[in-house]
Structure 1
Amino acid sequence: MLAARLRPAATQFGKFIVPLRARYSTEQSYEHIKVSSPRPGVGLVEINRPKALNALFTPLILELNSAMKAFDKDSTIGAMVLTGSHKAFAAGADIKEMSTKDFADAYGDDFIESWSDLPNTIKKPVISAVNGHALGGGCELAMMCDVLYCSEKANFGQPEIKLGVIPGAGGSQRLTKAIGKSRAMELILTGKNFSGRDAFDWGLAARVFSTPEECVDGALDTAEAIAGYSRIAVKAAKEVVNKSQDLGIREGVEFERRVFHGLFGSEDQKIGMKAFAEKKKAEWKHR
């Protein structure tokens, strides 16, 4: 469990106008993000680089990876929410960090490879709550999360073509799988932005909200609900849904069935089914 050492941080969203629970903060202090636990079982990470509209650069990404991995290892946390500010979830990658690099720098140092830690290493569900700008790397970061929520006026886009490059952190792949080739191709080739309402209508966002406050509260509500279930079952559910993106339907169903069978070896399967039969609330042991 992470230690409570920093003073509680206040948040601007919704009903959380008072300081968040002091229980949670990490032993490590962060410069570019805020970390808290405003709900039981929920870890909240807020990107906090307001002067740069939360533009992403390596030091911020490394902090984000550190905080997410800490939550992932914490047995008291069952799900996470990643958000920014009302103005910007993340207004792209920091051009200052990229503009002086040449091919040897970018390729030799595996530039932005560290951005892949979120989808590749985090096992617990992560919900992105997107308000304001989510452009370039910001759009990619939002799509790396397991569930994407946004407000109607969120501003998404992959404008890299305007800089003489292309998306480099999965934008062309995840956007295409989410909204289809033709629409994704148009957006990436033109650099056009699209709204939160568009993101929902096209299937990129799971839910859209009228205000930023409602968006973050909605994400926290969902994360809290997920955190209330068996950690073993939640981890398995995330794994099989993600596998559906890589496997054909036959292979995917076979994989799902094997994981389903495996859960019959868990204590939580017995607890859950017994509680259902007795019309009681399950008291999960998470094993």
Structure 2
Amino acid sequence: MSSSQPLVSVERRDDDVAVLRIENGKVNALSTGLLEQLEGAAQALIDAPPGAVVVTGGDRIFAAGADISEFAGPDEARAVGTCFLRALNAVADIPRAVIAAVSGVALGGGCELALACDLRIASDRARFGQPEILLGIIPGGGGTQRLARLVGPARAKDMILSGRQVDAEEALRIGLVDRVVPAAEVQDAAIAWAAELAAGAVAAQGLAKRAIDRGFDVTLGSGLELEQELFTQVFATDDARIGVESFREHGPGKARFTGR
């Protein structure tokens, strides 16, 4: 069910970073109304991509799981699961680097939202988990798939079958997050990281992201063929021309890219 209340906001900054923020009360529950807005916001970023994206939520709760009041039987579960699939796939499909900035708790669907991003930066007080098993159910927003691909099947099973939470230190150790910073710094650190990426060859970044993500779904041989196809495509961009010419004239690391 759609919600007329704004539950997702997008701020496009002067440094070409878009900050997508979840805003649904104290716990940031991922209701179907919020998920529909999230899908729309992500689609807008696909259609007119910035240089990079930061996805964030509340200071104490990044995002909780699904809205439990919407749970009932299999038919309702299918509707909720479809909303999660569409929204989080849209986030994952943004053709730029997407960084989750997790200040506090990311459980269930909130953890799955962070997993749909390309990179994750967490505060030192953050906690992650897929506690659905404690309700007698399983993750329905990609947790069984994205978590296993990120940390490996055994670690994913440990978290999902027990429902236990991991703190920021453990999340960093197992590869669930990429950076941990003090709580007061997580938003600024995420934006600074995104701005650094946004100043690079973002068209090439988008193609590299596509090669990596789609390569997981196919055989190694097919993935290598996909890489060759995208490697060829990237040479049609202005950034490839600028980068190669700059390297020839000035050496590495001096190019000023246009993002086209």
Aligned partner of 1:144 among 116, 129, 132: 116
Give the Å deviation of 1:119. Answer: 4.5
Aligned partner of 1:253 among 224, 230, 238: 224
Aligned partner of 1:61 among 17, 24, 35: 35
Q: Name the % identity.
A: 37
TM value normalised by structure 2: 0.88
Give deviations 1:172-207, integer Å, cap 9, x for gaps. 111112112222212111111111111110011111
1:87 aligns with 2:68: no
Matched residue of 1:46: which SS? Answer: strand
Matched residue of 1:278: which SS? Answer: helix
Q: Which residue of structure 2 lines up, in the alignment, with residue 173 of structure 1?
A: 145
Q: Matches of residues 130-279 of structure 1 in structure 2 within 5 Å?
A: 130-209=102-181, 211-279=182-250
Q: Which residue of structure 2 lines up, in the alignment, with residue 73 of structure 1?
A: 47
Matched residue of 2:175: which SS? Answer: coil
1:146 and 1:102 map into 2 onto residues whose CA distance is 33
Number of equivalent positions: 254
RMSD value over aligned CA atoms?
A: 2.2
Question: Is the 2:63–2:105 Cα contact (8 Å) retained in structure 1?
Answer: yes
1:214 and 1:135 map into 2 onto residues whose CA distance is 21
Give deviations 1:52-83, integer Å, cap 9, x for gaps. x11110111122222222233335x1111001
Question: Is the 2:17–2:53 Cα contact (8 Å) retained in structure 1?
Answer: yes
Over 3 Å counting, the alpha-carbon distance change for 1:78 and 1:270 in structure 2 is same
Of the structure 1 ranges 64-73 and 175-184, higher mean CA displacement relative to structure 2 is found in 64-73
Over 3 Å counting, the alpha-carbon distance change for 1:130 and 1:244 in structure 2 is same
2:104 and 2:111 map into 1 onto residues whose CA distance is 11
2:123 and 2:91 map into 1 onto residues whose CA distance is 23
Matched residue of 1:165: which SS? Answer: coil
Give the Å deviation of 1:164. Answer: 1.4
Q: Which residue of structure 1 lines up, in the alignment, with residue 73 of structure 2?
A: 102
Amino acid at match of 2:29: A
Matched residue of 1:156: which SS? Answer: strand
1:107 and 1:37 map into 2 onto residues whose CA distance is 34
Give deviations 1:229-267, integer Å, cap 9, x for gaps. 233212111111213322343432332233212222333
Of Structure 1 and Structure 2, the greater helix share is in: 2
